[in-house]
Chain A
Amino acid sequence: MFTEPDVAIQFLLSPTSLLMAAIGSLLGIFVGAIPGLTGAMLIALTLPLTYSMPSELALVLLVSMYVGSVSGGLVTATLLRIPGTPASMMTTLDGYPMAQRGQAGRALALGIGGTFIGGMISWGFLVCLAQPMAVWSLTFGPFEFFALVLVAMVLIATVGGKSLSLGLFSGALGVMIAMPGSSPATGIARFTFGIHEMDDGFKLLPVLIGLFAVNQVIRQVLQGDVGGSVTEVNDGDKLDFRFRDLATHGVNLVRSALIGTWIGILPGIGANVGSVIAYSAAKRASKTPERFGNGSEEGVVASETANNATVGGALIPLVAMGIPGSVIDAILLGALVIHGLQPGPMLVQSDPLAVQTIVGTMLIANLLTLLFLLASVRIMVRAARVPLFVLVPVVMIFCVIGSYALANRMFDVWVMLAFGVIGYLMERFHIPIAPLVIGFVLAPIGEEHLAAGLMQSGGSLMPMFTQPISLGLSLVALALLAWTLWRRFNDGKAIVLPDESS
């Protein structure tokens, strides 16, 4: 992968791609800071704009948006107690009390530092692990891949949400939504109800734009403007960096970054879960756990380091195997396909430039995000107050035109609107959306591999249990499911995690 990086470096350092990275991270930061908008929504809405760009440039834009959007939430979380993205939820617990005590600058400095270091550590893992993982998974046959998809589905359904049954239901719904249209194995249309526009089923982009953007618009309209109702905090003091932070928070930084990266690698689980787990780990390891929730520096560091570290972690399975590590990675996977790249273990060989671009962009975007965060803290607090009457028309027009542009047809626009309503209803009844997205993305991948395996073995499912890797993975999937069930029925209390979706 990194044998001939000169082309990629040249490309990444060209003015156009640097400009794209800057625009991407800046937009990402702002969208991360604005409570109504999320990174998933930004990337889904930007994807149509990249159709005519060269694929590498599109990747630069989208990946830097990803990095920026995970980082931007910390400012509003600290100053306004609104987590701009769900990933910053844990930051509000300690950042806001600190800001109330007059330590806003200190809290922001710690958060920004943690963001950067978390991003860099996970980038290191991305560089080291992507290539060996891709090489290792090259030996994967169809059954192995199918088993991997199974593990991913079980993971997202069991670990992601509050309720196991609702998580599984959401995942199954996602799989079902992927069924209409041409079968990925034989190309023959099914479940189209005689509507020829359905021959290709529901496409990823309209479904995602509906689930994330339209759904969010509905919720925002029902909630009304939130901007004015929050206590203001004096954000006038300077960012307060101290060099000995590296020593005092060193262990916490590394631990949170490792947790974040690992959670990121696990398919289907994103930044929110990473920051929750790192936060609780930091609390458990802390000498002063009672300060957590009342303005603990360690809490801010743990949360922000981990949520950014998930980005690099989640890119690893995407780049190496074509399996999305989070909801945003599912969109990036769609972006690769739309741009004519074939995700999978082959990507590193067939399109090394694309892989190098993704990896390099993450580094550049991390640096740019650090810069922009340092420079634009105050503007962001104002941006978080965009009135709804401006936000809603802009987002809705983007939604309509973005879904239409995918295939130049109105059918996708109707699909998008329908999924907006479905997404809203699901969240209202506390059904997590993330399993649906992952199920929807993974179902065709899993089906194609299972069908290929069956065609290869002459219809026998036995190779699944005779080959060591697929057997191991299937056992992991089974054990995960059994363990979760056992825990739920025995303890009666589940690990409560915030919804991955919004």
Chain B
Amino acid sequence: MHENVRTKLAYSERDFPQFAAYAPPHTSRNVLYPPISLKTLRWPVRRVPWLGCSLLLLLVGCSDGEQPVDAYPRRPIKLIVPFAAGGGSDTFGRVIQNAIETHRLLPERLVIINVPGAGGTIGSRRVKHARPDGYTLLLLHEGMLTARHSGSAGYGPEAFVPIAGTGNATQVVAVSDDSPYSDLPSLMREASRNPDSIVFSANIGAPSHFAGLMLQSKRPGSKFRYTQTGGGAKRFAALQGGHADVSSFSIAEYVQFKPSGIRALALLGPERHPDLPGLATAIEQGFDVESQNMQFWWAPLGTPPDRVETIADALAAAMQTEEVRETLAEMKITETVLRGAALDAELQRRERRIAEVAPSAGVELPDFAMIALGCLTLTAVAALIRANRRRRSGVPRPAVDRTERETSAQTSQLAAIGCITIGYVITLQFQLVRFVPVTAVYALLIGGILLWPLIQSRRLNAAKATIALLVVSVLMSVVMHHLFTEVLVVDLP
């Protein structure tokens, strides 16, 4: 356990070199009291909003169009990782990205953009609809192959151009230490003697689920009872707590949890793993099952083949660098690289294996969403009845707070701010103007709306306040843009 902590710490520092340079925003303090001494300066305050508008127009006119592209790549390439930062796929992507950057394997940067959600389909759908110019790529593992079969997406690998398959993480089937099963055949014998009695802890629709499905398909009559558990740590907890009988893990997870009380029955790879020489493969034990998780790189359909080749070359070179090999060894991932015809063949082979075992329906679950809707209606009715009764019985109804000093002036301020905010978000959504100018103008406008009545009623020094607002607007937009694009690598519009 101790060792793991150390490696984890080492990882995080190696993966995020920008962390040393990370400077948290002091903006809130700086902007509150901007150093202003020009008391005599009178700014045409009344014109602030107009000034903002003209600035906006100016910048719309100036924003440059698409540059002609002949050589590739001429600008940073966006790599969409459809999982959250810090997860397995993200870590893998960043290891490769680092190698590409330190060894200058591509003339431009590879920028990782996390678009997590819905098992990777939100990110993959974005790449599917992206312009096929080689500047938007996707890193997605077996999830691409399983998504259609588990019902979470209507498309599969055919909707993309595969660039390369890199790294291979093999899975193992494991039971808790005190389990009666000593090897795969004894487990499968029990599974066919008493079908639907051995509880298989899985992440439904993910490789851990398909590992079980493939196993049972190789012995007719056998059937596991699958239960949704989640990630590796949770599956380990389920085994340890006696809530499940068997589960599958990646080798890295298995090595981590082994000392705490689990035992592998079989390795789901083509041959034994150097780190676990004593563990027989499923094939050796008479079950032709392989479950390996490979990281695949994809481009949108229609991407020029020469650009695909450029990226594949860079990836293959990155996989050969010393630091990538070291990191992958620590993560128990083999350094395989597949491309071209070999990649297509492997993809087909894997998809066939997955397609053979359509996920079984399992237990009919109640429709939780409908139950929730029912509860909501019920409580809404109860709340209404209660409010009604309270009103009738003469108890003062605390419906609307009257202590708030709302005036029509403030309501219209709010309405104006609301409209401007919606306009701002629409501008960002359709990328009409670049982020920095539109944000500065936005801050100026809503600040101006709030400032205007105060200046009118002479409650504060107009010049000072205006300069403060200007400084805040410019600082906020520039600093935020810098912070998020450079330090946090967010793909700001």
Tell me, yes or no, whether A233 is within 8 Å of chain B by CB. no
> In the complex, what's the smallest C-beta–C-beta distance from A226 to chain B, in angstroms?
9
> Given the complex of chains A and B, what is the CA–CA distance between A190 and B151 in angstroms?
11
> In the complex, what's the smallest C-beta–C-beta distance from B16 to chain A, in angstroms?
6
Beta-carbon contact of B443 and A397 below 8 Å: yes
Within 8 A of A (CB), among B214-259: 225-231, 233-234, 236-237, 240-244, 256
Beta-carbon contact of B225 and A186 below 8 Å: no
B116: chain A residues at CB < 8 Å are: 200, 407
Tell me, yes or no, whether B487 is within 8 Å of chain A by CB. yes
Beta-carbon contact of A352 and B5 below 8 Å: yes
B301: chain A residues at CB < 8 Å are: none
> In the complex, what's the smallest C-beta–C-beta distance from A399 to chain B, in angstroms?
9
Interface of A is mostly: helix
Within 8 A of A (CB), among B432-477: 439, 442-444, 446-448, 450-451, 454, 459-460, 465, 468-469, 472-473, 476-477
Most buried by A among B86, B115, B125, B488: B86
Beta-carbon contact of B32 and A386 below 8 Å: yes
Tell me, yes or no, whether A478 is within 8 Å of chain B by CB. no
> In the complex, what's the smallest C-beta–C-beta distance from A394 to chain B, in angstroms?
6
> In the complex, what's the smallest C-beta–C-beta distance from A189 to chain B, in angstroms?
7
Interface bits B475-493 vs A (CB < 8 Å: 1, else 0): 0110010011001111111
B237: chain A residues at CB < 8 Å are: 138, 344-346
> Given the complex of chains A and B, what is the CA–CA distance between A172 and B375 in angstroms?
6
Q: Which residue of B lies closest to A4 (CB)?
A: B2
A61: chain B residues at CB < 8 Å are: 24
> Given the complex of chains A and B, what is the CA–CA distance between A387 and B461 in angstroms?
12
Within 8 A of B (CB), among A387-420: 387-390, 392-394, 396-398, 400-401, 404-405, 407-410, 413-414, 417
Select A429's contact among B87, B240, B400, B447, beta carbons within 8 Å: B400
> In the complex, what's the smallest C-beta–C-beta distance from A361 to chain B, in angstroms?
15
Q: Which residue of A lies closest to B22 (CB)?
A: A53
A175: chain B residues at CB < 8 Å are: 372, 375-376
B442: chain A residues at CB < 8 Å are: 393, 396-397
Tell me, yes or no, whether A234 is within 8 Å of chain B by CB. no
B29: chain A residues at CB < 8 Å are: 30
B229: chain A residues at CB < 8 Å are: 452
Select A448's contact among B230, B401, B428, B476, beta carbons within 8 Å: B230
> Given the complex of chains A and B, what is the CA–CA distance between A317 and B480 in angstroms?
35
B70: chain A residues at CB < 8 Å are: none
**Chain B residues touching A, range:** 35 or more
Beta-carbon contact of A199 and B117 below 8 Å: yes
Tell me, yes or no, whether B310 is within 8 Å of chain A by CB. no
B406: chain A residues at CB < 8 Å are: 222-223
A454: chain B residues at CB < 8 Å are: 363, 365-366
> Given the complex of chains A and B, what is the CA–CA distance between A398 and B25 in angstroms?
11
Binds B, one of A101-109, A117-125, A163-171, A287-295: A163-171
Give how many A residues have a beta carbon under 8 Å from the other chain's beta carbons.
Answer: 113
Known: A23-B24, A169-B379. A339 touches B115 (CB 8 A): no
A345: chain B residues at CB < 8 Å are: 237
Tell me, yes or no, whether A239 is within 8 Å of chain B by CB. no
Known: A389-B465, A393-B442, A404-B492. A455 touches B118 (CB 8 A): no
Binds B, one of A44-52, A251-259, A362-370: A44-52
Q: Which residue of B lies closest to A450 (CB)?
A: B368
> In the complex, what's the smallest C-beta–C-beta distance from A398 to chain B, in angstroms?
8
Tell me, yes or no, whether A56 is within 8 Å of chain B by CB. yes
Tell me, yes or no, whether A140 is within 8 Å of chain B by CB. yes
Select B204's contact among A185, A200, A386, beta carbons within 8 Å: A185
> In the complex, what's the smallest C-beta–C-beta distance from B454 to chain A, in angstroms?
7
B399: chain A residues at CB < 8 Å are: 429-430
Kindly count the residue-residue contacts between A and B in the assembled complex, taking CB atoms under 8 Å apart. 328
Select A186's contact among B204, B459, B469, beta carbons within 8 Å: B204
Beta-carbon contact of A142 and B488 below 8 Å: no
Tell me, yes or no, whether B57 is within 8 Å of chain A by CB. no
Known: A61-B24, A165-B383, A338-B86. A179 touches B369 (CB 8 A): yes
Beta-carbon contact of B84 and A338 below 8 Å: yes
Q: Which residue of B lies closest to A393 (CB)?
A: B443
A138: chain B residues at CB < 8 Å are: 237, 240-241
A-B contact pairs, 27 of them (CB 8 A): A20-B24, A49-B25, A52-B19, A141-B241, A166-B383, A169-B379, A176-B375, A183-B368, A185-B365, A197-B122, A199-B121, A222-B410, A224-B410, A340-B90, A344-B234, A345-B237, A350-B233, A352-B5, A393-B446, A394-B31, A397-B476, A404-B493, A410-B425, A417-B421, A448-B230, A456-B227, A458-B196
Chain B residues within CB distance 8 Å of chain A: 1-2, 5-6, 8-9, 12-13, 16, 18-20, 22, 24-25, 27-29, 31-32, 84-87, 90, 113-119, 121-122, 125-126, 150-152, 196, 199, 204-205, 225-231, 233-234, 236-237, 240-244, 256, 260, 362-366, 368-369, 372-373, 375-376, 378-380, 382-383, 385-387, 398-401, 404-407, 410-411, 413-414, 417, 421-422, 424-425, 428-429, 439, 442-444, 446-448, 450-451, 454, 459-460, 465, 468-469, 472-473, 476-477, 480, 483-484, 487-493
Chain A residues within CB distance 8 Å of chain B: 4, 7, 11, 16, 20, 23, 27, 30, 48-49, 51-57, 61, 138-142, 162-163, 165-166, 168-169, 171-173, 175-176, 178-179, 181-191, 196-197, 199-200, 203, 218-219, 221-225, 228, 337-340, 342, 344-347, 349-353, 383, 386-390, 392-394, 396-398, 400-401, 404-405, 407-410, 413-414, 417, 428-431, 443, 447-448, 450-456, 458-459
- Given pairs A171-B379, A414-B425, A443-B372, 7 additional interface contacts (CB within 8 A): A49-B483, A183-B368, A222-B404, A342-B234, A396-B442, A397-B477, A455-B226
Question: Which 5 A-B pairs have CB atoms at the shortest separation, nearest pair first?
Answer: A200-B117, A340-B86, A54-B12, A393-B443, A389-B450
